[in-house]
Amino acid sequence: MSAVVNVVLPVFALILLGFVCRRTGRMGPTGASELNRFVVWLGLPALLFSVVARSTWSELWQPGFITAFAVGCLGVFAFTLGYRLLQKQPLVDASLDALGASYANTGYIGIPLCMLVLGDEALQPAMVASIVVVCVLFAIALACVETGLHAGQGFGRTLAKVAAALLRNPLVVAPLLGGLWAASGATLPVPLATLLKLLGAAAAPCALVSLGLFLAQPQPGGRVTGVWPLVGLKLIAQPLITGYLAFQVFELPPLWAYSALLLSALPTGTGPYMLAEFYGREGSRVSRVVLYSTLGSLVTLSICLVLLPV
């Protein structure tokens, strides 16, 4: 149990510090946004580029891990989307709910947590999972939202908008550029490697503090329904599906199996809420999913860590 506390406490302590700093006025209302910009545009891209540029294709191409993690998140997304559509929700709102139930916070919590639990080698599965979440799950959700907003404008136009949005995302571009660098066979120059190391080291703590600042923002008022089923799908159903596939079906190596379970058990990231804000949709439900799943993951992640022989 002491090992669990040693791992989980620092991660959630950084989130709590961000929360307290916002609530006490030590950081202003724009703090979460500005720190998030640093993480998204500098910290995480530097970390992702550096890891991919130093990796080989055989190290990153883990079809069993990719399938187990992708089936977990995409399965929950598809189930939630179908259920919300059966309830006669608009496609846009149903897509945002489905994303909230399946969007693991791999970047802000997953990367630092896996590195603390499993060592630096776990950065590779955490990065692969982040690419699945950002490039596959988020792209599908974007396509569904755009389809709902522009029904009748054609599949090609919707696909072009989604592709353009992904190509502007630094969390997508950075690993792609890192892959090209690795394919060239060139080594990273020492000044560039040092710069990337400094930026990458700042990514995890800044991401966690930024999440705390976000969670400290006032929640929309009024009664909101349908939050807890989404939280349950994220914290219970997704790790059960992924864990079964990772351990029983694909029998992954311990590092990749443990990483798959931990990454699937993560709380909902801020992406669904930011997407709701961007499209001007009601974000009260998804913002509460982010908050409650983050608090609930303190329990579920601790259970996972107790069960894992690490």
Whether 15 maps to a domain, the answer reads yes
In this prediction, residue 4 has a pLDDT band, given cuts at 50, 70 and 90, of low
What mean pLDDT do residues 145-171 have?
73
The DSSP output letter for 136 is I
pTM of the model: 0.79
What mean pLDDT do residues 134-146 have?
82
What mean pLDDT do residues 297-307 have?
86
**Rounded distance, CA 293 to CA 72, Å?**
17
What mean pLDDT do residues 126-137 have?
85
29 pLDDT above the threshold of 60: yes
Question: Looking at residue 138, what is its pLDDT?
Answer: 82
What mean pLDDT do residues 272-285 have?
76
2 pLDDT above the threshold of 60: no
Coil/strand/helix, residue 114: helix
Percentage of the chain surpassing pLDDT 90?
A: 31
Q: Which of 200, 142, 194 is nearest to 174 (CA)?
A: 200
**Rounded distance, CA 186 to CA 40, Å?**
26
Two tokens, residue 66: 């990719």
Per-residue pLDDT tens digits for 251-262 = 999 999 999 999
More confident residue, 283 or 114: 114
Whether 221 maps to a domain, the answer reads no
Whether 61 maps to a domain, the answer reads yes
- Domain of 232, in residue numbers: 2-216+227-307
The count of domains in the chain is 1
What mean pLDDT do residues 278-303 have?
83
Question: Looking at residue 176, what is its pLDDT?
Answer: 82
Largest CA distance in the chain: 57
**Rounded distance, CA 94 to CA 276, Å?**
11
Q: How many Cβ atoms are within 10 Å of 267's Cβ, its own excluded?
A: 26
Whether 142 maps to a domain, the answer reads yes
141 pLDDT above the threshold of 60: yes
Percentage of the chain surpassing pLDDT 70?
A: 92
Surface-to-core class of residue 133, CB atoms within 10 Å of its CB (0-12 exposed, 13-18 middle, 19+ buried):
buried
Which range has the worst mean pLDDT, 81-90, 132-141, 160-169, 210-219?
Answer: 160-169
Radius of gyration over every alpha carbon of the chain, rounded to an integer in angstroms: 19
Per-residue pLDDT tens digits for 183-229 = 888 888 999 999 998 998 888 788 778 878 887 877 666 677 889 99
In this prediction, residue 7 has a pLDDT band, given cuts at 50, 70 and 90, of low
Surface-to-core class of residue 194, CB atoms within 10 Å of its CB (0-12 exposed, 13-18 middle, 19+ buried):
exposed
Per-residue pLDDT tens digits for 63-112 = 999 999 999 999 999 999 999 999 989 998 999 999 999 999 887 788 88
181 pLDDT above the threshold of 70: yes
Whether 259 maps to a domain, the answer reads yes
Whether 101 maps to a domain, the answer reads yes
Question: Looking at residue 3, what is its pLDDT?
Answer: 52
Whether 222 maps to a domain, the answer reads no
1 pLDDT above the threshold of 70: no
What mean pLDDT do residues 230-259 have?
95
**Across all residues in the chain, what is the average pLDDT?**
84
Query: Residue 303 maps to which CATH number?
Result: 1.20.1530.20
What mean pLDDT do residues 163-189 have?
81
